[in-house]
Amino acid sequence: MKTSLRKKLNFIIIIIFIAALILFDYNIKDSRHKSIIIGEAAPTDVFSHNTFEDELATKNNRELARENTANIYKYLPNVAIESRDKLSFLFDELKAVRYHALLSEEDKLKQLKSHIDLNLSDEDLNLLMNLDYKQLNNLQDTLNDLMVAAYNRGIKIEELEYVQNNLLDSIDTIVVNEKLRQPSKDIIAEILTYNEIVDEAATEIAKNEAEAAVKPVIVAAGDRIFEKGEMVTPNSAAMLEKAGIQVGSVKRGPIDIAKSIIKILLPTILWTYYMYNYQTKVYLSSMLYLLLFVDFVVILLSIIAAQFTIYAMPILISTLISAMFYEKEINFINSAVLGVLICAMGNWSYEALIYLIAISFLTAMFVKDFDKKSSVFLKAIAAAIFATLLSLASLNYTIAFKNAIISLAYSVGTAIISVIIVLGSAPVWEGLFGIVTHQKLYELTNTKAPILKRLAEEAPGTYQHSMMVANLSENAAKRIGADHILARVGAYYHDIGKLSNPKYFSENQFGIENPHNDLSPYDSAAIILRHVDYGVELALKEELPDSIINFIKEHHGTTKVAYFLHTAKEKNENVNEELFRYSGRKPQSKETAILMLADSCEAAVRSIKNPTDVSIKNMIDNIFRQKVDDQFGECNLTFKELEEIKDEMKRNLTAIHHDRIEYPKGEADD
């Protein structure tokens, strides 16, 4: 299905999902509201029926906007010129008085101080007068450059001290002669000043504009104006009137429909926004339909079950199915939104939300491997017990021990039933929505499968390479918590396309001349590149799942056949490099990215003639550097995970290719 058509279809399905929830929510409520009585506590959260302006809040926001508006400054161009002239005049006077032969040192100092309008110490002036012409020029240029740079950046009056201190600190580095540092600092302190001042008129205009830009604070229809238990005082009458809240019982009307829409629409919009922007692959697949279907059923069952007790709500059905088929992040987001929807639709108190979030998050966090069914049961039961105790502990009143035991029994019983339903229904979801379970993946690991058997017979080198890559991929995936079963199975099948021309791949060239010797680099590259497309064709013919076909498509990404490209360039520099580039897409998941690394590392290390630990590790470092820079922009691997994958592959490959002990002749067989 085309992406544009899928987007439209999914949008319609989500709208139907929302509409169905709103209808269900509206019809399960009582036909009348709880009464709102002046002088009594609100029996429930009270929401505004109308939209009106909160004038006091608007006024406060506008005052805050004025206060937060930054001052506007105007530039004073003459300041820099005047400072430069002061500096020039000082050094001109120093040069003039220094060479005045008729004056004593004391008279020179008096004359200099009478001419300059700077508060410099006698020690500074005496030191400066004793400098030669070149030293004076150099010092003048240095100080002038410092001030020009500062003025060019602009010096506000409130920043003057900060800028001066920075320049004074710079002098310690720039002025080499230690004796000249203090006089230089004194000159800067005397001459440097601010060259930007507040433009009062422009600033006032800006503050007025900021104030005018503040929109009135609107209390929208549906906003909460009283919390459950909050006293409705006589002073609240005006607020109630503006909000359109009537005192006493009121028949349900359009406002009630609006409330249902708001509390269902907002969480689902956030959920949709997250799925569309951050889980696009799932959003544009049939996996979205499974998630929506399961969530809808769980909401309905939870609303019904909660009439007896909140601890009978089967949110674990959704959480476990999400844990089985989706990434952990999706599970957390979906569980949170689902918990909010259930509580909002049922008007359940906070302890219900605590229970739902706790049991679903704990299960999502710890349940990973569904092949160990006993482990799934135990972890689900443990999550149920913990969540129930946490919820009961959050109550602001004491619960009877008997009731606590009953609550635990409901929770544990619901958890057990949820696990049974999920494990038993897994093949149904796989068939209806085309999703691959671990059980299906285990079936694909059977090396007696026709395509793998053919690979072993017709391309034994490729088969052995695939088995090695499978081990590397599985270990690396385990290391970072990725789907290691998927990684292993994907590695099994990633190179089946080499069955098109097995002898043209080096791992299958046993005792024969390399057939590429008789081909041009272009023809050789075409044969090598073809194995990806042919692999996809074979996979479709064998009806392999899409998740496995992705490994075939992505294991070379958009890299180039470097060897034949280099050979072609030796003959002609003007080579169209696109003819040597794989057409497959870059890795889209952690598992396919791991395979790309494992595939490249295994082949590269195998090509080392006399492998050592150092040469193997250097080769792996080089491969990781190339792939990370060019191929991993579309998968969600973190740098920390990449380091862990690299470490795991180094450990595995150095163990495989470790140095052998050279036995004395005749002892090896022993």
Q: Dump pLDDT digits (tens) for 380-402.
A: 999 999 999 998 888 665 566 77
* pLDDT reported for residue 255: 72
Q: Is the pLDDT of residue 415 over 70?
A: yes
Report CA torsion sign: 99, 103, 104, 107.
negative
Q: How much is the average pLDDT of 307-327?
A: 86
Dump strand ranges (E) for 180-274. Answer: 196-198, 218-219, 224-226
CA dist 453 and 446 (Å) reads 9
Examine the pLDDT at 349 and tell me if it is beyond 70: no
Q: Residue 3's pLDDT band (boundaries 50, 70, 90)?
A: low
| pLDDT, position 324 | 84
CA 290 – CA 581 distance, rounded (Å): 37
Q: How confident is the model at residue 249 (pLDDT cuts 50, 70, 90)?
A: very low
Q: How many CA atoms lie within 13 A of 334 on its CB side?
A: 33
Q: Which two tokens stand for residue 6?
A: 């899928």
Conformational region of residue 653, where left means phi above 0, alpha means psi within -120 to 50, and beta covers everything else: alpha
pLDDT at site 407: 86
Asked if the model's pLDDT at residue 218 lies above 80, the reply is no
Residue that has been written with the tokens 């079963």 in this structure = 485
Residue 662 predicted with pLDDT over 70: no
pLDDT at residue 413, rounded to an integer = 94
Nearest to 594 by CA among 504, 496, 510, 471: 471
pLDDT of residue 670: 32
Quickly list DSSP for 415-446: HHHHHHHHHHHHHHHHHHH-PPPHHHHHHHT-
Residues 333, 334, 337, 339, CA torsion sign: negative
Q: Could you give the CA distance from residue 457 to residue 448 in angstroms, rounded to a whole number?
A: 11
Q: 531 and 498 in contact (C-beta within 8 Å)?
A: yes
Which whole number is the average pLDDT over 467-490?
Answer: 92
pLDDT band at 443 (very low <50, low <70, confident <90, very high): confident
Segment 403-427 shows an average pLDDT of 89
Rounded distance between C-alpha atoms, residue 479 and residue 90, angstroms: 71
pLDDT value at residue 243: 67
Which of the pair, 109 or 414, is modelled with greater confidence?
414
pLDDT higher than 70, residue 239 = no
Confidence bin at 346 (pLDDT 50/70/90): confident
Confidence band of 54 (pLDDT split at 50, 70, 90): low
Nearest Cα neighbor of 258 from 303, 223, 227, 302 is: 223
Q: What is the DSSP letter of 131?
A: S
AA identity, residue 264: I
Query: What pLDDT, on a 0 to 100 scale, did the predictor assign at position 463?
Result: 93
Other C-beta atoms closer than 10 Å to the C-beta of 232 total 22
Question: What band does 436 get if pLDDT is binned at 50, 70 and 90?
Answer: confident
pLDDT at 111: 84
- The Cα–Cα gap between 661 and 573 comes to 47
* Per-residue pLDDT, 624: 92
Tokens of 78: 């003459």
Is pLDDT at 663 greater than 50 in this prediction? no
Average pLDDT over the chain, rounded to an integer: 84
Residues 318, 298: Cα–Cα separation, whole Å: 7
Please write down the long-range contacts of 270-278, taking CB distance under 8 Å and 24 or more positions apart.
270/337, 271/333, 271/334, 271/337, 272/14, 274/333, 275/330
Tell me which of 172 and 552 has the higher pLDDT.
552
The mean per-residue pLDDT over the stretch 472-493 comes to: 92
pLDDT at 336: 92
Task: Please report how many Cα atoms fall inside a 13 Å half-sphere around the Cα of residue 460, on the Cβ side.
Answer: 3
Query: No. of H helices and E strands in the chain?
Result: 28, 6
> How far, in Å, CA of 550 to CA of 593, rounded?
11
Is the confidence at residue 173, as pLDDT, over 90?
A: no
